[in-house]
A and B are shown apart, each in its own frame.
Chain A
Amino acid sequence: MPAQNRIAIIDGCRTPFLRSGTDFIDMMAWEVGRHAVKGLIAKTGVSGKDINHVIMGCVSTDIATTNVAREIMLGAGLPDSIPAHTCTVACISANMAITNGANLIACGQAEAVIAGGVESFSDPDIKISKKYRRFILDLTMFKRPRGIIGKLKLLKGMKLSDFIVPERPSINEYAVQHTMGDNADRIAKRLGISREEQDQYAEMSHQRALAAWKAGILKREVVPVVPPGKSRAVDRDNGPRENAVLDKLSKLKPAFDRRYGTVTAGNASFLTDGASAVLLMSEKKAKKLGLKPLAYLKAYAYTAQMIETELLLGPSFAIPRALEKARLKFSDIGVWEIHEAFGAQMVANIKCLGSEKFARERLGLSRKVGDLDVNKLNIYGGSLSLGHPFGATGGRLVTTCAYRLKESGEKYGVVAGCAGGAIGNAIILERA
């Protein structure tokens, strides 16, 4: 990319990330999302008229708002002349939204893009049973039998429970029919990651998040939200827990493989409601508006791996690819922000990045990618503690990474994540 027109990251903003079923319980995803966008507009002081496109990541869209990005930007009071679209790549949906936004700017399609994501798991679509669905659709749309006899015929083969018991919504990996949690257990076993290593990682994540909130560091990224009709402002994440210490964590029962598993509710990320938004701009436009960027987006890469065994190893594949694109060495990176799906997944990725064997066999490299210094990794907490609204996490990672670059004086930072479908992403930021 030519140096005079780089992709500037002006600022980022997110709502507090809240455990599902808590304060955002009565809000639809678009309502949560627009607060992030509104907060971003407010803190940057840009006019809605200067924005050319809005992209939001989202995994579980409500059928009432399938292109939730459009509802979000309208709900944030942006001019209705701005196009908006929603994209979905599981847990790296916002990463995709941000790199898509960067592409729009790089191609000259836009000068300023708001990109981020949203998720609400407080009110997921719960489906009635497949048979009941079919019955209703046949009755009203497809067959539409006349007369009572024809209608009764549709009931053939249905049981009473079909009318009562809904389908269980699950976060299954469709191709292999097991959940993310199951997969985390598998990778822990495959790579010999102990329960203790996972719990230690979780403890670190929680304690770092608590310390960051205590120091007021995360306030700069978060816009307070007053849920409609409530008289209380929600201004911080409710995921980090004081009692998430090794002693307590080690007592939890396994959550997925209940007999031999090591993944627990304590060392896995939890269902979260929240939204994030990042303001991307061409360097030229930022200059014109007198805005000081936090960072520039230097390079990025997407990879895809084997679903059964490498579902959670996205960062191990994507980081070396992105480094190569940016012509940077592993040691050039001073700030790491990696999505924490599970304690096991984090430990696994650290192991793989530091493994000669992995590099040789799976990446075709002669040397290991590098040894990740945990003192430079997720120092203000991560998805395990702050929470993980699927569609929104990438926006948080990019924002935190950009702020950390600014405050630390480090030159380069990496944002990385794994996603369902065994897709990996890494984005390299350069301090402005």
Chain B
Amino acid sequence: MKPTRYIKTETTHDNIVVVTVDCPGKVNKVSSGLLDEINSLIENLDKDGTAKALVIVSGKEDNFVVGADIDEVKRMREPREMEEYISKANAILNKLASLPLPVVTVIHGNCLGGGLELTLVADWRIAANSTNTVMGLPEIKLGLIPAAGGTQRLPRLIGLRNALPLILQGSNVRPKKAKKLGLVDELVPPYGLAEVGVQKARTLVGKKKSKIRKKRKRSFVDFLLESNPLGRNLVFSQARKMVMKQTHGLYPAAFAAIDSVAYGYSHGAARGIEADIKRFVELVQSPQSKSLMNLFFGMTALKKNPLEDKSRSVEKLAVIGTGLMGNGIASVSLGICDTVLLKDVNLEAVARGMKDIRKGLEKRARSGALTNFERDVLYGKIVPCDDYANFRNADLVIEAVFEELALKKKILKDVEENSSPHTIFASNTSALPIHKIAEGCKRPQNVIGMHYFSPVPVMPLLEIIKTDKTAEWAVATALAFGIKQGKTCIVVKDGPGFYTTRILAPLLNEAVLLVEEGADMRDVDRAMHLFGYPVGPITLIDEVGIDVGAHVAQDLGKEFSKRGAPPSGALPILFSQGFKGKKNKKGFYRYDTPKKKGYRLPNPEVYRLLGNLPRREFPMEEIQHRVSLMMVNEAVHCLQEGIITSPRDGDVGAILGLGFPPFRGGPFRYIDAAGAQTLVDIMKRLRDKGMQRFQPAPMLIDMAKRGKKFYNE
């Protein structure tokens, strides 16, 4: 036999074959190399005929198989290549499934995508009962479907109604839940797994496959809905409705996934898999999937810290301000710091924050992501403070207090007096320029911006802002810290609104201007929904707060006015009339009346205050162009000015921080796809209608002139 690179094979004295998957690199991925070696293994088993059982385990410490090698998938240019690849995978999995001997897999760590599909062909699945063990089918997040049998074998194993959410949302399953679902047959302590697999396999030798596999217990409702075509059709149509509502039909993969499960039920698993192969090849080539994969690559690249060797460890963190932001920042830091000081002006505020943090920890413990002791240990890392007595030797201080320059400067001064020379001071401001906060402080080289997004535990982006004076090691440390928190970080240059707030402001401004011109706010929100934004801009203003919006509008307005694009005065007007948005139930929408058909009603008072024009209909495309292009154009300004250093950072930041439609790939990929010239033309048309703010950024005009793209692939 040829020497193998991806698997190691051993045979016990009683002819049980143990296959250890151990690909080169830190994690196991499904690749052509791995598939080929498994294939030749199966052929040898057939030739040999002595093997009594097969056990598949991972040779890695903390993962089973984390999914397909996306790099390899992306390298495939021709549809034919992709078809060959996915067909081969299915052929091999089918062979494994029909081996005449029992197959046992023992799962620990990440078992995702193709990894999970590999275990689905086994007759017996054992999982290590550990907080590291995670199973799931995340293909949908890349705009794909689990086409290596996932859509066919999973519903048959755990039931249609259990399987659909896993396939359609790509959500993760932890051991306890997996056992309950029947995704695994038993849980064991996470040690000596290969030996456990062998022992189990020994008991299965000679048994019929149908005898080995556990019969799933179905509830009566499951029986009604899943055992007959009528019930299943009901389930499928419900799922389609749900997907339509959530995605507005912008993500073809979700529908493809439902179609493929349905097809499998009506035509049998074998033909289902054949159909899946075709669907997969189509989806891989779709612009949506390409954008999502690019996003995935962008995020993966940003997980590496180019300044790693300059970063310092953060053992002691202090968070000042216990609002939603401060609590969130503390929550996501507990696992990576030894001590977290949580400070506010009084201990009551801190205690309320700690209760929220505790709730989050309890939720994680219930899901199996933490043990109870780990939960308690994480909680115990928080030290409540109402003064700076404990700040000595703090490695990093993050303030998350009100957006008020004087207050932030005062806090910086207090921190400098009470902490140590190496203490980094980070401001979680969304718009105040960092150099202004640092003005007159003792150690401006230690001052940095760390702009988190709310709610912090959910939102994946961290915008790190460096000033001219920020030391490189401080940037390196903030970056390393953010990456450890699990955030995707972009490092940007200091300036009004940095990157994210700066490009969001003109977008929101444009939405408000449309309302002032007589557009129905619901039309504006709906148009942007259909463009792909998760939240409409007007709703977003209500959520963020009109007070915050007014503040930002005024700060950034000065900058935009310099370019001849003064912002709307609407938000300051509304704010002066006591409108703060959802938080005081006085916003663009009405929060004092119930929703109608799931939608809030516009507040007529707002229309009256903002011009009081009669409402008229705007073409949806006009709304979409105006609102989205304001952001896209501003993003180009940022790149030109060096606020962001690459289109990749700009794209990732807009998608993860602001909800720019992921399937459109971000502002820069959007330009590349639409063509710079096309967009310049649209903008010039708008500008010539008297909207000076649509003057295209010089860089964009230049790109259009030279026919260039931001990404050269």
Query: Could you list which residues of chain A lie within 8 angstroms of chain B, going by C-beta atoms?
Result: 31, 34-35, 38-39, 41-48, 74-78, 220, 223-226, 228-233, 235
Give the CA-CA distance A31 to B341 in the complex, in Å: 18
Q: Among B350, B380, B392, B394, which residue has its beta carbon within 8 angstroms of that of A233?
A: B350
Residues of A within 8 A of B385 (CB): 224
* Given known A42-B316, A77-B338, A233-B347, contact A226–B355 (CB-CB < 8 A): yes
* Chain B CB within 10 Å, residue with most, of A42, A43, A46, A223: A42
Q: What distance in Å separates the Cβ of A19 from its nearest Cβ neighbour in chain B?
A: 20
Give the CA-CA distance A89 to B4 in the complex, in Å: 64
A43's nearest neighbour on chain B, judged by CB, is B390
Interface string of B536-560 (1 = CB under 8 A from A): 0000000000000000000000000
Check A231–B338 contact: CB distance below 8 A.
Answer: no
Any A CB within 8 A of the CB of B242: no
Residues of A within 8 A of B381 (CB): 38, 77
Any A CB within 8 A of the CB of B171: no
Q: Among B339, B351, B354, B392, which residue has its beta carbon within 8 angstroms of that of A77?
A: B339
Residues of A within 8 A of B351 (CB): 226, 230-233
B349's nearest neighbour on chain A, judged by CB, is A233
A37's nearest neighbour on chain B, judged by CB, is B380
* Given known A43-B390, A45-B393, A233-B351, contact A228–B338 (CB-CB < 8 A): no
Give the CA-CA distance A76 to B341 in the complex, in Å: 13
Check B347–A235 contact: CB distance below 8 A.
Answer: yes
Give the CA-CA distance A228 to B377 in the complex, in Å: 11
Residues of B within 8 A of A46 (CB): 393
Give the CA-CA distance A14 to B8 in the complex, in Å: 56
Q: What distance in Å separates the Cβ of A73 from its nearest Cβ neighbour in chain B?
A: 11
Looking at chain B's contact residues, the main secondary structure is mixed
Q: What distance in Å separates the Cβ of B478 from its nearest Cβ neighbour in chain A?
A: 20
Check A75–B338 contact: CB distance below 8 A.
Answer: no
Q: Which 3 A-B pairs have the closest CB atoms?
A: A45-B393, A233-B347, A45-B392
Residues of B within 8 A of A76 (CB): 380
Give the CA-CA distance A75 to B393 in the complex, in Å: 21
Give the CA-CA distance A42 to B316 in the complex, in Å: 8
Give the CA-CA distance A412 to B601 in the complex, in Å: 75
**20 A/B residue pairs, CB under 8 Å, sorted by A:** A35-B380, A38-B339, A38-B383, A42-B339, A42-B341, A45-B392, A45-B393, A47-B338, A75-B376, A76-B380, A220-B389, A224-B386, A226-B355, A226-B382, A226-B384, A230-B355, A231-B352, A231-B354, A233-B347, A233-B350
Check A75–B392 contact: CB distance below 8 A.
Answer: no
Give the CA-CA distance A226 to B358 in the complex, in Å: 10
A235's nearest neighbour on chain B, judged by CB, is B347
Q: What distance in Å separates the Cβ of B121 from its nearest Cβ neighbour in chain A?
A: 40
Interface residues of B in 44-99 (CB under 8 A from A): none
Interface residues of B in 302-349 (CB under 8 A from A): 315-316, 338-339, 341, 347-348
Q: What distance in Å separates the Cβ of B352 from its nearest Cβ neighbour in chain A?
A: 5
Interface residues of B in 578-619 (CB under 8 A from A): none
Give the CA-CA distance A38 to B420 in the complex, in Å: 19
Check A75–B389 contact: CB distance below 8 A.
Answer: no
B378's nearest neighbour on chain A, judged by CB, is A77
Give the CA-CA distance A41 to B381 in the complex, in Å: 10
B420's nearest neighbour on chain A, judged by CB, is A45
Q: What distance in Å separates the Cβ of A403 from its nearest Cβ neighbour in chain B?
A: 13
Give the CA-CA distance A232 to B352 in the complex, in Å: 7
Q: What distance in Å separates the Cβ of A71 from its nearest Cβ neighbour in chain B?
A: 9
Q: What distance in Å separates the Cβ of A124 from its nearest Cβ neighbour in chain B?
A: 21
Interface size on B, residues (CB 8 A): 30
B362's nearest neighbour on chain A, judged by CB, is A229
Q: What distance in Å separates the Cβ of A281 from its nearest Cβ neighbour in chain B?
A: 15
Interface residues of B in 560-592 (CB under 8 A from A): none
Give the CA-CA distance A224 to B390 in the complex, in Å: 12
Query: Could you list which residues of chain B lie within 8 angstroms of chain A, going by C-beta atoms?
Result: 315-316, 338-339, 341, 347-348, 350-352, 354-355, 358, 373, 376-377, 379-386, 389-390, 392-394, 420
Residues of B within 8 A of A38 (CB): 339, 380-381, 383
Given A35-B380, A226-B382, 14 new contacts (CB under 8 A): A31-B376, A38-B339, A38-B380, A41-B339, A43-B390, A45-B392, A77-B339, A224-B347, A224-B350, A226-B351, A230-B351, A233-B347, A233-B351, A235-B347
* Chain B CB within 10 Å, residue with most, of A38, A76, A223, A231: A231
Residues of B within 8 A of A228 (CB): 358, 376, 379
Residues of B within 8 A of A34 (CB): 380
B361's nearest neighbour on chain A, judged by CB, is A228
Residues of B within 8 A of A74 (CB): 373, 377
Give the CA-CA distance A48 to B354 in the complex, in Å: 23
Residues of A within 8 A of B339 (CB): 38, 41-42, 77
B352's nearest neighbour on chain A, judged by CB, is A231
Check B354–A226 contact: CB distance below 8 A.
Answer: yes
Give the CA-CA distance A225 to B318 in the complex, in Å: 17
A35's nearest neighbour on chain B, judged by CB, is B380
A27's nearest neighbour on chain B, judged by CB, is B376
Q: What distance in Å separates the Cβ of A432 from its nearest Cβ neighbour in chain B?
A: 17
Q: What distance in Å separates the Cβ of B141 from its nearest Cβ neighbour in chain A?
A: 34
* Given known A233-B347, A233-B351, contact A43–B389 (CB-CB < 8 A): yes
Give the CA-CA distance A255 to B61 in the complex, in Å: 62
Give the CA-CA distance A327 to B339 in the complex, in Å: 42
Check A233–B393 contact: CB distance below 8 A.
Answer: no
Residues of B within 8 A of A31 (CB): 376, 380
Q: What distance in Å separates the Cβ of B135 from its nearest Cβ neighbour in chain A?
A: 29
Check A41–B338 contact: CB distance below 8 A.
Answer: yes
Give the CA-CA distance A225 to B379 in the complex, in Å: 11
Q: What distance in Å separates the Cβ of A75 from its nearest Cβ neighbour in chain B?
A: 5
Give the CA-CA distance A381 to B389 in the complex, in Å: 23
Check B383–A42 contact: CB distance below 8 A.
Answer: yes
Check A48–B355 contact: CB distance below 8 A.
Answer: no
Residues of A within 8 A of B347 (CB): 224, 233, 235
Give the CA-CA distance A220 to B339 in the complex, in Å: 18
Give the CA-CA distance A223 to B383 in the complex, in Å: 8
Check B383–A233 contact: CB distance below 8 A.
Answer: no
A72's nearest neighbour on chain B, judged by CB, is B380
Residues of B within 8 A of A77 (CB): 338-339, 377, 380-381
Residues of A within 8 A of B315 (CB): 47-48
Residues of A within 8 A of B350 (CB): 224, 226, 233
B354's nearest neighbour on chain A, judged by CB, is A226
Residues of A within 8 A of B376 (CB): 31, 75, 228
Residues of B within 8 A of A48 (CB): 315, 338
B355's nearest neighbour on chain A, judged by CB, is A231
Q: What distance in Å separates the Cβ of A114 from its nearest Cβ neighbour in chain B?
A: 14
Give the CA-CA distance A74 to B381 in the complex, in Å: 11
Check A224–B384 contact: CB distance below 8 A.
Answer: yes
Residues of A within 8 A of B379 (CB): 228
Q: What distance in Å separates the Cβ of B342 from its nearest Cβ neighbour in chain A?
A: 9
Q: Among A39, A41, A233, which residue has its beta carbon within 8 angstroms of that of B348?
A: A233
Check B390–A42 contact: CB distance below 8 A.
Answer: yes
* Given known A231-B351, A232-B348, contact A45–B380 (CB-CB < 8 A): no
B394's nearest neighbour on chain A, judged by CB, is A45
Residues of A within 8 A of B382 (CB): 226
Q: What distance in Å separates the Cβ of B312 from its nearest Cβ neighbour in chain A?
A: 12
Give the CA-CA distance A31 to B373 in the complex, in Å: 10
B391's nearest neighbour on chain A, judged by CB, is A45
Q: What distance in Å separates the Cβ of B662 from its nearest Cβ neighbour in chain A?
A: 37
Q: What distance in Å separates the Cβ of B179 from its nearest Cβ neighbour in chain A?
A: 27
Residues of A within 8 A of B354 (CB): 226, 231, 233
Give the CA-CA distance A357 to B48 in the complex, in Å: 99
Residues of B within 8 A of A43 (CB): 389-390, 392
Residues of B within 8 A of A229 (CB): 355, 358
Residues of A within 8 A of B341 (CB): 42
A78's nearest neighbour on chain B, judged by CB, is B338
Give the CA-CA distance A46 to B395 in the complex, in Å: 11
Q: What distance in Å separates the Cβ of B394 from its nearest Cβ neighbour in chain A?
A: 8
A46's nearest neighbour on chain B, judged by CB, is B393
Residues of A within 8 A of B393 (CB): 45-46
Give the CA-CA distance A235 to B347 in the complex, in Å: 8
Give the CA-CA distance A226 to B339 in the complex, in Å: 15
